[in-house]
Amino acid sequence: MGLMDGKRGLVLGVVNDYSIAWGISEQLFKEGAQLGFTHLPDKDPANPKMARRVRKCVEQFNPKLFMPCDVQVDADIDAAFAAAKETFGELDFVVHSIAYAPLEDLKGPVHCCSREGFKTSMDISVYSLMAVCKRAKDVMPNGGSILTLTYLGGERVIPGYNVMGLCKAALESSVGYLAHEFGQSKIRVNGLSAGPIKTLSGSAVKDFDKMLEMYDALSPLRRNVSLEEVGKSAVYLLSDMSTGVTGETLHVDSGYHVMGAPPGDAKLAGA
């Protein structure tokens, strides 16, 4: 018996098999979940590179649903959840692992972020969770669990994380408000704040390698977390093992977030 036997869910945000959403999906599948996936639509339907790439890395999970969805297009989100209802009848969980900032705005300091870049970043990284939760409510008549992904840069200043830190702060705030609004419908909304994982989006963050080094040197466990560990913690939040948990941001970061000063044995390059 797996923790997710009989559970049906939709995962948004897999890009490749380095994605945190992929790591979560792997653990959900191991625990018996039935999964559906969305992917970013291809600009050229005649050459669906994105669809092929994502399908290839999720096919081992025997997806019951696989379709494009641009979270900036309401009709796409409507179509994805309509398809989920037709495929599964009801959903038990949704994984929202979507964030984006235009590269020129992400790379520069916060005060130089363009107005349009800020709007786009907040729309995709924050508003999309609200839009997804609104649709998910209609296919969770018996309750369920919704999980989004965040990072410590939403709570603390992480040099190089820049405008995405502002987005994560807003995202974490929205988790609390959504948890309040959906609680009486028995729908739980939580965030998972993972340590830095080498994903496609992570590669766009300035000095990402330095972030990895900091976790190895400063966290209580003296190491960073693995994709498998993040996935297992996500299963906890999505399963019936956490039915009393909502509005929470669970840190899966080897304890890095609790540190206020470097430990005495910390060794950093150049120190």
Catalytic residue annotation: 151, 161
The region, left, alpha or beta by phi > 0 then psi within -120 to 50, assigned to residue 101 is beta
Count of Cβ atoms closer than 10 Å to residue 270 Cβ: 3
- pLDDT per residue over 198-222, tens digit each? 765 555 555 667 777 888 889 999 9
Which comes out higher in pLDDT, residue 159 or 46? Answer: 159
In this structure, which topology does domain 8-251 adopt according to CATH?
Rossmann fold (3.40.50)
Categorise residue 264: left if φ over 0, alpha if ψ from -120 to 50, beta otherwise: alpha
127 DSSP 8-state letter:
I
φ and ψ at 62, to 5 degrees?
Answer: 50, 60
Task: Identify the residue with better confidence: 208 or 68.
Answer: 68
Q: CA–CA separation, 165 vs 151, rounded Å? A: 8
Position 238 scores a pLDDT of: 98
pTM across the whole model: 0.94
pLDDT of residue 265: 85
Which of residues 229 and 204 earns the better pLDDT score?
Answer: 229
